[in-house]
Amino acid sequence: SAVISQKPSRDICQRGTSLTIQCQVDSQVTMMFWYRQQPGQSLTLIATANQGSEATYESGFVIDKFPISRPNLTFSTLTVSNMSPEDSSIYLCSVEEPTGYGYTFGSGTRLTVV
Amino acid sequence: GEDVEQSLFLSVREGDSSVINCTYTDSSSTYLYWYKQEPGAGLQLLTYIFSNMDMKQDQRLTVLLNKKDKHLSLRIADTQTGDSAIYFCAESRDSSASKIIFGSGTRLSIRP
């Protein structure tokens, strides 16, 4: 499986500010995925990040709120913009397993907005 | 829309077997997954099963699939303290990430 390094692991932020989360993979991958895990809930896909093109956002998520960068095949960032307490969640990045079945996840970023 | 449901909590005695259950609604599900999330960590893919299988065994893990009832289970034999985690069931029609639906997770706790 790919090894994913995600940082920061946690942060407490003031409302109205922005936080950028970084995700580094130890191998080149075509697609990287960003998920949100709200407290006590399951994972929801935010967007798919392809290198060299704009990210594809799922219903309910927009680029202005969650801008994504994908400068190369091993790195991506997700920014949570103009944060409110409702954005308090765990954010995880993910890449596809080499077998093509299932996905590997980073350790997540636990965000608390106060 | 599609839905995946799991019970929130399960407590078992160390050394016993744990059985975590999951039901899903999408009759077109092709891939079914079990993920493990330890405290402070990301999700780790434990195993997966195709919809044309009814059982898959991997060391202490046994996955049973009842496609007619849309019921998936994960059995952990000889449960150890290191098995304490949240276990997520997930299903998809294909291997595309946008189609994967996760359950809310079952928190497994081990008592001595």
Q: How far is A68 from chain B (nearest CA, A)?
A: 17
Candidates B90, B48, B32, B2; CA nearest to A42 is B90
pLDDT at res. B99: 74
Chain segment B54-112, per-residue pLDDT in tens: 999 999 999 999 999 999 999 999 999 999 999 999 998 876 666 788 999 999 999 98
Chain B within 8 Å of A59 (Cβ-Cβ)?
Answer: no
CA distance A91 to A6: 10
Q: Are the CB atoms for B65 and B53 separated by under 8 Å? A: yes
pLDDT at res. A53: 85
Candidates B101, B87, B86, B88; CA nearest to B30 is B101
pLDDT at res. B96: 66
| pLDDT average, residue stretch B23-35 | 89
Contacts of A42 in chain B (CB under 8 A): 4, 88, 102-105
Contacts of A56 in chain B (CB under 8 A): 98
Chain B within 8 Å of A27 (Cβ-Cβ)?
Answer: no
Residue A100 reports pLDDT greater than 80: no
